[in-house]
Amino acid sequence: MKYTFTIAILLSTICLCSYTYKPKTTSVSIQGEQFYINDHITYKNRYWKGNKIEGLLFNSRMVQGIFDDLNNDTRNNFKYPDSNKWDAERNTAEFVNAMEDWKAHGLLSFTLNLQGGSPLGYGNHGWINSTFDSLGNLREDYMNRLEKILERSNELGMVVILGYFYFGQDEQLKDEQAVLNAVDNITHWILEKGYNNVLIEINNECDIKYDHPILQPQRVSELIKRVQDISGHKLLVSTSYSGNKIPSSEIIASSDFVLLHGNGVKDPEKIKEMVALVRQSESYSPKPILFNEDDHFDFDKESYNLLSATESYASWGYFDFRMKGEDYNSGFQSVLVDWTISSDRKKAFFNKLKEITGY
């Protein structure tokens, strides 16, 4: 196999998978509490209603971009009505086609997860959706879909918050060694491919129902450090807790950026309190604070969670699932997914985001 750069030959000696290295044009970095894309501060010189916007990273939870169901007993739950079958490649293609419009409204980032999220919004019912097999090897079809999204994000100058594990699917990995294999395999793949526009979220909500202790709060910092060590701190890494929770001092200290979730936070003032508690932690040093999941909206109200996060100089992430009685156009997490800005709720968010960012 031929490689374009000598460094790729060196990387291939430690990589557990074989992919061709390509240099990429989009990079993400951090200086203090601010995000930079291609060494330029995000939303440069932008203020909104007196609030500093530059340096933030507004995002949306789009975790089902490479979704599949490997369980034949549940796969038919996700059939497209026009074809009467589920099609993982179609799902990813429609995702990729929608990304430019997201970016045009000021969305610079989105969360994707290698084990997805609940395709019903909340809850798990037997489906199998995992980029990793039971031993932690990478499934080729998932990786091909992932590469399509990462390539398009690179072209558009967008940042992908890439989650490795989800609590509804980590049981697909046989044991702790399989988890370590998975972390090593995907991290080496990202490095060998040369993707510089990726932020790593080790696992979504580490404090909920993980089968493997190394993915639970008391030990997940081991995996944060593992990715940092493998990448020589080139990859920026964190993990998240469930809604309305503050990460432990150890995780705040070890993370390159602090992830928060606003689920369950009905009073927007509580969002400000959460950000303040992180900054008051004895283990906190200046680094970005980023919500990458919040299922509260009310963008037309006087007070709402997005506004409170912005006023606290914390990035905010939109989490939208299909609620009871809603049609196919609604929600970005519920499979089948309409990835376009189609529902009233999606339009409200993206229009507010365009107003805030000045796009």
Q: Side-chain half-sphere of 214: how many Cα atoms within 13 Å?
A: 20
Q: Write down the pTM of the prediction.
A: 0.93
> What does the pLDDT average to over 273-302?
98
Q: What's the angle, vertex CA 176, arms to CA 174 and CA 177, rounded to 5?
A: 85
DSSP 317: E
- Give yes or no for residue 9 having a pLDDT over 60: no
Parallel, antiparallel or unpaired: strands 258-261 and 289-293:
parallel
What pLDDT sits at residue 102? 98
Beta bridge partners of 4: none
What pLDDT sits at residue 4? 36
Within 10 Å of residue 300's Cβ, how many Cβ atoms? 9
CA distance 254 to 199: 14
> What does the pLDDT average to over 14-22?
44
Q: Which of 12, 28, 24 is nearest to 234 (CA)?
A: 28
The pLDDT tens digits of the residues spanning 300-319 come to 999 999 999 999 999 999 99
CA distance 219 to 133: 22
What pLDDT sits at residue 314? 98
> What does the pLDDT average to over 260-289?
98
Position 73 confidence tier, pLDDT thresholds 50, 70, 90 = very high
Q: What is the residue whose two structure tokens read 């080139």?
A: 234
Please report, as a single letter, which amino acid is at residue 225: K
> What does the pLDDT average to over 235-257?
98
Position 6 confidence tier, pLDDT thresholds 50, 70, 90 = very low
> What does the pLDDT average to over 34-54?
98
Q: How far is CA 260 from CA 7, 30, 50, 240, 315, in A?
A: 36, 17, 24, 6, 10
What pLDDT sits at residue 254? 98
Q: Which of 164, 201, 210, 211 is nearest to 184 (CA)?
A: 164
> What does the pLDDT average to over 207-223?
97
| Polymer length of the chain | 359
Q: What are phi and psi of 250, to 5 degrees?
A: -65, -40
Whether 270 and 245 have beta carbons less than 8 Å apart is answered as no
Whether 265 and 298 have beta carbons less than 8 Å apart is answered as no
Q: What are phi and psi of 82, to 5 degrees?
A: -85, -15
Please report, as a single letter, which amino acid is at residue 231: S
Q: What's the angle, vertex CA 28, arms to CA 320 and CA 295, rounded to 5?
A: 15
What pLDDT sits at residue 219? 98
163 φ/ψ sector (left φ>0, alpha ψ -120 to 50, else beta): beta
Q: Where are the beta strands (DSSP E) in the chain?
A: 28-31, 34-37, 40-41, 47-48, 51-52, 59-61, 109-113, 159-166, 198-204, 236-238, 258-261, 289-293, 317-318
